[in-house]
Amino acid sequence: MSAGDIEIADVFRKFADGYLQSCGGLPRPEQRRAVSDILRCMTAAMGGSRYRCGDCGESFWHYHGCRNRSCPRCHGRQTLEWIRERSVELLPGDYFHVVTTIPAELRGIFLAEQEYLYGLLMKVSAEALCELAGDSRYLGAIPAIMSVLHTWTGQMLHHPHVHMLVSGVGTAADGSSWRKVRNNFLVPVKKLSPLVARRFRETLSKERPGLFAQIAPVVWRRQWCSFCRHLGEGRGAVMRYLGRYVYRVAITRNRIVAMDDSHVTLRHKDNDTGQWKTCRVGGVEFVRRFLLHVLPKGFHKVRYFGLWHSSKRRLLNRMRVHLLLSAKPEVTPVLETMAALAAEAFPGADSQAFVPKCPRCGGLNVRLVEQCRRGELSRSA
């Protein structure tokens, strides 16, 4: 198979059995479900819709996706729908991209206690950011924060970190006043990093003292790195962020270069140079790395803090109206519907109702004949 034609399901079909034999089976039900769903995605097992072409009379099936959140084939349209829902929450003004990470020594215990520690990292990162942003030397107000958890590197190694989309405008706790950033500066990362570490340590020692005792004291002397970058103003900044981070999975087929009987070759970007490189990974190891990033069932990888928290909805609406009334005319289009913006950010995903092409003549003059749910087609076959 050539680059771009290899699906994750193709890799699973070739190497998943070897992985299962090497580890004695999958320990977590969500991993078993992910493997099962990805293998059956876009096949008769998932059900589908049968169409008939009005031009040539051809009758054909279009099979449904699995909609598993770990499947890279299923999230184009889901992402567009999610972005449209979020459009009403946007604030005019600047946005920032903030990232927080953990020391490498903590990765093992994060794997063992994923649900609690992933959630704790997201919570303390946002709280630390809100604390610093509230300082009058910086924003001096409560910003809107959307946090997204990622757990991988470009080579699919385990590396938990939190991406945050942060508004450059905020309001006082009582909503009496609002402020915006000065000189495209949000908060100093040299202060954010130790603050995240301190909050994480204090919360963990209080809530889970047994788990805290398992961590070597040297970990708390390590550097907790943070990153903050000014994205720009308005809708373009938000769309770039959402398109890149929100529904992203560990790897998609456009980064799989080749596959043979024993290995998979993938592309990854070097963080130091920004250059694309390739690495060759054993097929069984590829499956192991992919499954590292299947999140616990029910875990919310996207969370909201500050002005975007549900408890601040009334305050957010009041502030948004105030900003729109005081904004310059060229700024207000930030709250337009997302149709044109979605096409810009996701050129491969149709934002309208899906219409398949006839496999015989390529025409779009097709009509829906029948639909079958998951499992119905395979049982009838």
Do residues 84 and 165 both lie within one domain? yes
Residues 306 and 312 sit within 8 Å (Cβ to Cβ):
yes
Q: What pLDDT score does 367 carry?
A: 95
Do residues 24 and 89 both lie within one domain? no
H-type alpha helices, the chain: 8-23, 29-40, 76-86, 107-112, 114-133, 189-207, 209-213, 235-245, 283-291, 313-326, 339-345, 376-380
Q: What pLDDT score does 337 carry?
A: 41
Q: What pLDDT score does 90 carry?
A: 76
Do residues 63 and 84 both lie within one domain? no
Answer whether residue 266 is part of any domain.
no
Answer whether residue 26 is part of any domain.
yes
Domains held by the chain: number: 2
Answer whether residue 161 is part of any domain.
yes
Do residues 245 and 139 both lie within one domain? yes
Answer whether residue 262 is part of any domain.
no
State the residue range of the domain holding 368. Answer: 8-69+351-380
Task: Tell me the pLDDT of the chain (381 aa) as tens digits.
Answer: 555 689 999 999 999 999 988 888 777 899 999 999 999 999 999 999 999 999 999 999 999 999 899 998 886 666 666 666 666 667 778 999 999 999 999 999 999 999 999 999 999 999 999 999 999 999 999 999 999 999 999 999 999 999 999 999 998 877 778 899 999 999 999 999 999 999 999 999 999 999 999 999 999 988 898 899 998 876 667 767 776 777 788 998 999 999 999 999 999 998 888 899 999 999 999 999 999 999 999 999 999 999 999 888 788 777 777 776 666 554 444 434 444 444 444 444 444 456 889 999 999 999 999 999 988 875 554
Q: What pLDDT score does 346 carry?
A: 43
Find the CATH number of the domain harbouring 50: 2.20.28.10
Residues 30 and 351 sit within 8 Å (Cβ to Cβ):
no
Answer whether residue 113 is part of any domain.
yes
